């Protein structure tokens, strides 16, 4: 399979497909390129007195990038990324059908 890259700005259709790929789980999603620093920063913010409720000592930080027409953005910090794999911008029909045929057992109902 040919691997190529697409660059921001993305089209509205590409944004939809890119975010769909992020959620599908077939591929490891793009994550924040400065994830360690990013999580630390959010951790500091969350552990300010009064932010974490009593008895609550853990929280989840998502560093999965979100596609916008201007490029990828991190939900937590100002990290951005301006490229994606070309197939991620295409409708994922072929891959999806492939995986469905492969992984979903035929159920009789
Ligand atoms: Zn980040």
Calculate mean pLDDT across residues 7-34: 91
Q: List the chain domain ranges.
A: 5-100
Q: Is the pLDDT assigned to residue 109 strictly greater than 90? A: no
Residues with CB under 5 A from ligand 1 (ion): 32, 38, 74, 76-77, 79
Q: Convert the pLDDT of each residue in 29-69 to its tens digit.
A: 999 998 888 888 777 777 776 665 555 555 567 889 999 99
Distance (angstroms) between ligand 1 centre and the Cα of 39 equals 7
Between 65 and 102, the more confident residue is 65
Residue 33 near residue 76, CB atoms below 8 Å: no
CA dihedral 11, 14, 20, 21 (to 10 degrees): -140
Residue 16 near residue 92, CB atoms below 8 Å: no
| 8/83 Cα distance (integer angstroms) | 6
Distance (angstroms) between ligand 1 centre and the Cα of 25 equals 20
Report field, pTM of the whole predicted structure over 0.75:
no
Distance (angstroms) between ligand 1 centre and the Cα of 26 equals 22
Reference 31, options 73, 88, 85; nearest CA is 73
Q: Which of 19-23, 58-62, 94-98 has the lowest mean pLDDT?
A: 94-98
Residue 70 is predicted with a pLDDT of 98
């Amino acid at each position: 399979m040919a691997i190529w890259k697409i660059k921001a700005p993305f089209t509205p259709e590409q944004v939809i497909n890119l975010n769909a790929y992020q959620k599908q789980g077939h591929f490891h999603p793009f994550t924040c390129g400065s994830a360690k620093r990013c999580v630390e920063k959010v951790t500091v913010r969350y552990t300010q007195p009064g932010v974490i409720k009593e008895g609550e000592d853990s929280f989840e930080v998502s560093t999965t990038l979100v596609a916008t027409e201007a490029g990828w953005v991190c939900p937590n910090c100002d990290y951005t990324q301006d490229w994606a794999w070309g197939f991620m911008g295409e409708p994922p029909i072929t891959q999806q059908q492939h995986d469905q045929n492969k992984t979903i057992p035929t159920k009789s109902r």
